[in-house]
Amino acid sequence: MEYWKLFGIIAFNSQDKPAIFTTVVLRSPNTEARKREIECCFTFTVQKDKHDIPTLIVGNFLETMPRVR
C-alpha cells in the first residue's frame, strides 16, 4: 500500500522530483521460507513522456544489514 501512495505522490505531481528513496519490509508468500521478512532500502524513479504522463517505473531493492545491538 505504501508503494502506491508514494507512486501517486510523484507520478502525478510535476512539482516533486520523480524519485523516492525509503525503507520497506518485503514479505515472502512462502511459509516454509527461512526468512519471511526482509528489511530493504527501496528506491524508484518515474519517467514521464513529453505530455507529463508516467510511462516507466524503475525500482531497486537493497537488503539492509541487521542492526547490531
Entry pTM: 0.53
3-state helix, strand, coil in the chain (%, to 5): 15, 45, 40
Give 1-55 pLDDT, tens digit per residue. 677 777 777 777 766 566 778 888 888 888 787 778 888 888 888 888 888 788 8
Residues in CB range of 54: below 8 A, 6 or more apart: 11, 12, 46, 47, 48
Instruction: Parse the chain into domains and list their residue ranges.
Output: 2-63
Closest by Cα among 53, 45, 57 to 14 = 53
